[in-house]
Amino acid sequence: MTMTFSEANRSKSSIRIGIMGPTFSGKTYSAVLLARGLVGEKGRIAFVDCEGGEANLYANITKFDILTLEPPYTPEKFIEAIESAQASGYDAIILDTISHEWSGEGGILDDQAAIENKDSKRRWSCWGELTPRHNRFLNTMIRSPIHIITTMRMKMQYVVDTVDGRNTPRKIGLGPIQRDNVEYEFSVLLEMDGSHTATIVKDKTQILGGLGDVFRPTIETGNALRVWIEEGIDVVKKQTPVEPVPTQTPKTIYDESQINGVKEDYAASGWSLSIFDQAKISDGLYDGDLIKADWKKRKEMDDAKPVPVKKPVVKRQETKPVIAVKKPEIKPEVKPAPVETKPEPKQEPKQGDDVIMCEECGVKITQMQKNMSILFCNGKSYCAECRKKYQAGEQMKTRGGE
């Protein structure tokens, strides 16, 4: 079989752009701007929306047609959407967002979990049917003759930046929510941040800048890519003028978590919190540019205030009159005279009584005490105390010698 080669022609190529970033970083906004620049003023743009119709919020930027995709977000639905856009003659398609195909409701990971729940033994073997489905979706993107721009969510983490000496929380992304190595499928890959600026992660065109360069995507950026594809890189280097298309500067949007930290800084500075009511766009969203302007204005006003110099206050030391305190008279302690206690008369044991009494002091003793006393005290019946005295050799008095 003989294969035929033809001369390479860049004008016959389409471009695939991936835009990843955290929430409110400007992924969708940037995708619309780039798409308009890529297709020109009269080009047709198809928009596949997986965010419940939020793409309609960007209808004031430029004209495009929207398809709202409902769950389950299977790879087959994305494939059908791309093929429908091709068949309908669109010049570019925006997929917002392909993270749903991987981890959304009815996506690949959702199907994998459902298979594993039915049969735990298929935890790994199920990828034999899931991977081909995912790959068909990626191959459809790669082989599409129209320009494709996709957005991808990112795994989030908070970091704290110091702005004007105050701590301000900021979200950063740790990686796209898609299958590993999805970056290989794109000609241009950009990472957005909370300030709506993009960092170049990958650029096969080499006209946007070097890896790691930071810029703000605009319609002119898409125009430059279109010129590079259709007319050649030399034309781009000569800075060929592009179609003038009106642009809008994207707003900085703060979410509730960012606002909480800023509110704490406002309260610590003793500033009014009324700006947050003015800047509120909707529940949980605030106009960041309005808050930044208010912050700057208040900071300038605080810096302009003269710092009052406090004079040291010298307090007069009051001299209190010395009051002589008469010491209480100490009387000698009079101890009460000791009360003589007469010993109780010893009771003689009566003939025939069952009571056993000590022959010396007359207290009652037990039979065991009596036996011990007779054994050690020469036949005398003593209590324990008297027995100790007898054994110590003290002079004893018997009841008969009193």
Please write the tens of the pLDDT for every residue from 260-281: 888 888 888 888 888 888 888 7
pLDDT of residue 55: 87
Where do the domains of the chain lie, and which CATH numbers do they carry?
11-250 (3.40.50.300), 254-296 (no CATH), 351-402 (no CATH)
- Cβ atoms of residues 178 and 102 within 8 Å: yes
pLDDT of residue 169: 72
**Cis status, amide bond into 72, omega within 30 of 0:** yes
pLDDT of residue 48: 95
- Cβ atoms of residues 81 and 134 within 8 Å: no
In tens digits, the chain (402 residues) has pLDDT values of 788 887 777 666 789 999 998 888 889 999 999 999 999 999 999 999 998 888 888 889 999 999 999 999 999 999 999 999 999 999 999 999 899 999 999 999 999 999 888 888 887 888 989 999 999 999 999 999 999 999 999 877 666 777 777 777 766 657 888 898 898 899 999 998 878 899 999 998 888 888 888 999 999 999 999 988 887 544 444 333 434 444 444 567 777 777 788 888 888 888 888 888 888 877 677 888 888 888 888 888 877 766 565 666 666 666 666 666 666 667 666 666 666 655 555 445 444 446 788 888 888 888 888 888 887 787 788 888 888 888 887 767 654 433
pLDDT of residue 220: 93
pTM for the complete prediction?
0.56
* pLDDT tens digits, one per residue of 162-205: 777 777 776 665 788 889 889 889 999 999 887 889 999 999 88
CA-CA distance, 145 to 92, in Å (whole number)?
A: 9
